[in-house]
A and B are shown apart, each in its own frame.
Chain A
Amino acid sequence: MKRKKKWYDYLWIASLTYLILGFFNILFAWLGLFCFFIPLAIAVIKGNKAYCNKYCGRGQLFSLVGGRFGLSRKKDIPGWIRSGYFRYGFLIFFFVMFFLMLWNTWLVFAGAKNLGAVVTLLWTFKLPWHWAYHGTLFSDGVAQFAFGFYSVMLTSTVLGFLTMALFKPRSWCVYCPMGTMTQLICKAKNVTTSQKQ
């Protein structure tokens, strides 16, 4: 019995488009905030992980490339990656790096630092990205956030593709910080609702 495709089964196109747009105009990186706020809103309001389960375009992209295109070894992920220590540790690390990025953005907004037209891959490698910057109508901080946010998105995509190739297609889902965070919210929400009953 083959499941009929729904509109949300094509959200991988949106994810792919997002990554491509970042090569042409970095300001499109702001659109990535949807991937942050929608899963959080669903978890907080509805108390489930419908975003991961249905709508995550990035997960679909890994499924497609690793599954249908066969670019995955389809091996088991090492136990330590799926352990709580690693998942929560990675979430904290991700948070810290995210706030550092926000701090950098603030410094540019405040005029204490010049705009750095670079995309930092894997929190280490600074890739020149000036060709995707054509000026901004607002403060340079707007562009700085775009560079920083696109760095986060590109880094997680690269990590996702790496673990897709090494292990199973959607290995990223195992340690995805958004997935870990939304699961934590759902767990917390479940505890509070069961206490109320």
Chain B
Amino acid sequence: MAKKKAAVSIRECVACGCCIKVCPRNTITVPNGIHAVINRELCIGCGKCVKECPASIISLEVTE
């Protein structure tokens, strides 16, 4: 079955970090305050960050 993983549109990310707090697996960081980075190995594609992102620039992408 196709897996879904969260993906950030880094160009539009404002690096607010709202996504960090809602991620149940602590897979999101904002290194150097530039944009959010999601560890796709750990992401379970729950979509919580997608809902939370105030700029709506995180989406779920099919990976396989």
A3 — nearest CB in chain B belongs to which residue? B21
**Is the CB–CB distance between B34 and A183 below 8 Å?**
yes
Q: Knowing A76-B56, A174-B55 touch, does A59 contact B32 (C-beta < 8 A)?
A: no
**Is the CB–CB distance between B20 and A53 below 8 Å?**
yes
**Is the CB–CB distance between B55 and A77 below 8 Å?**
yes
B57 — nearest CB in chain A belongs to which residue? A82
Q: How many interface residues does A have (CB within 8 Å)?
A: 35
Q: Knowing A53-B30, A77-B54, A174-B54 touch, does A87 contact B14 (C-beta < 8 A)?
A: yes
CB distance from A51 to the nearest CB of B (A): 9
Q: Which residues of the other chain, A, contact B62 by a CB distance below 8 angstroms?
A: none
* Chain B 14-39 residues near chain A, CB threshold 8 A: 14-18, 20-21, 24-26, 30-34
**Is the CB–CB distance between B16 and A186 below 8 Å?**
no
**Is the CB–CB distance between A43 and B24 below 8 Å?**
no
Alpha-carbon distance A49/B32, docked complex (angstroms): 7
**Is the CB–CB distance between B18 and A59 below 8 Å?**
yes
**Contact for A186 among B20, B34, B56, CB less than 8 A:** B34
* Chain A 10-64 residues near chain B, CB threshold 8 A: 43, 47-50, 52-54, 59, 63
Verify if B12 is at the interface (C-beta below 8 Å from A): yes
Q: Which residues of the other chain, A, contact B31 by a CB distance below 8 angstroms?
A: 48
Q: Which residues of the other chain, A, contact B15 by a CB distance below 8 angstroms?
A: 49, 52-53, 179, 183, 186
Q: Which residues of the other chain, A, contact B55 by a CB distance below 8 angstroms?
A: 77, 82, 173-174
Q: Which residues of the other chain, B, contact A1 by a CB distance below 8 angstroms?
A: 24-25
**Contact for B30 among A48, A59, A174, A185, CB less than 8 A:** A48
CB distance from B32 to the nearest CB of A (A): 5
Alpha-carbon distance A173/B57, docked complex (angstroms): 13
29 contacts between A and B (CB under 8 A): A1-B25, A3-B21, A48-B33, A49-B15, A49-B30, A50-B33, A52-B15, A53-B15, A53-B16, A53-B30, A59-B16, A59-B18, A76-B56, A77-B54, A77-B55, A82-B12, A82-B14, A82-B56, A167-B54, A168-B53, A169-B54, A170-B16, A172-B54, A173-B14, A174-B14, A174-B54, A179-B16, A190-B32, A190-B34
Known: A167-B54, A186-B34, A190-B34. 5 other contacts (CB 8 A): A63-B18, A82-B56, A169-B54, A173-B55, A174-B54
Mark A residues whose CB is within 8 Å of B: 1, 3, 43, 47-50, 52-54, 59, 63, 74, 76-77, 82, 87, 167-174, 176, 179-180, 182-183, 185-187, 189-190
